[in-house]
Structure 1
Amino acid sequence: MCGSVGVFYPMTAEEKVDADNRSVYVGNVDYGSTADELEIHFNGCGPVNRVTILCDKFSGHPKGFAYIEFSNRDSVKTAMALDETLFRGRIIK
């Protein structure tokens, strides 16, 4: 449940900055949400590269937020329109 969907490889500092610029923070995520569900919810914004659900390192339980990385920077603007929409019964930020 926790973690990411996607391929991992060592990234340069420049690549990390680029990935950050193509990503959005999603808060108030239901603790039972999966990366696949989040990808489906945000897929209308553009192609999703990776979904990362943050988890507590001691308990392994989700923290209630995630990051969505898109293929294109333009998708970030589109994703921002989903602010305060309903996802799994909760208003996401």
Structure 2
Amino acid sequence: TTADKSTIETKSIWVGNVDYGASVYELEDHYRSCGVIVRATILHDKYSGKPKGFAYVEFVNAGSVELALTLNDTILHGREIKI
């Protein structure tokens, strides 16, 4: 529902400049210190199956998003990620 979607959005971050070789496990590990993660998703092209270079991380609590924002411009898998 729309209410569920907006609730999820308050507890999620968009992560850009994700290396094509990075795994979901590495992404989760990078943000683990921010709080409990519900899921991390690296988006892939539906035709080629290759990663698009960005991801989403959903946390249990909205407060974790503020902590995650402090990790903007940090290095993940050799690249400076953007939130």
Q: TM-score, normalised by structure 1?
A: 0.85
Residues 1:60 and 2:49 are matched in the alignment: yes
What is the percentage of aligned positions where both structures have the same residue? 51
- Provide the aligned C-alpha RMSD in A: 0.6
Letter aligned with residue 29 of structure 1: V
Q: Deviations over 1:37-66 (max 9, x none)?
A: 101110100000010111111101000000
* Match 1:71 to one of 39, 60, 68: 60
Match of 1:16 in 2: 5
Residues 1:49 and 2:38 are matched in the alignment: yes
Structure 1 position 33, deviation (Å): 1.0
SS in 2 for 1:72: coil
Aligned length: 82
* Match 2:71 to one of 48, 60, 82: 82
User: Residues of 2 paired with 1:87 and 1:41: CA distance?
Assistant: 7
Structure 1 position 13, deviation (Å): 1.9
SS in 2 for 1:66: strand
Q: Deviations over 1:45-90 (max 9, x none)?
A: 0000010111111101000000000000000000000000011110
Q: Gaps spanning 5+ residues in structure 1: where? A: 1-11
SS in 1 for 2:32: helix
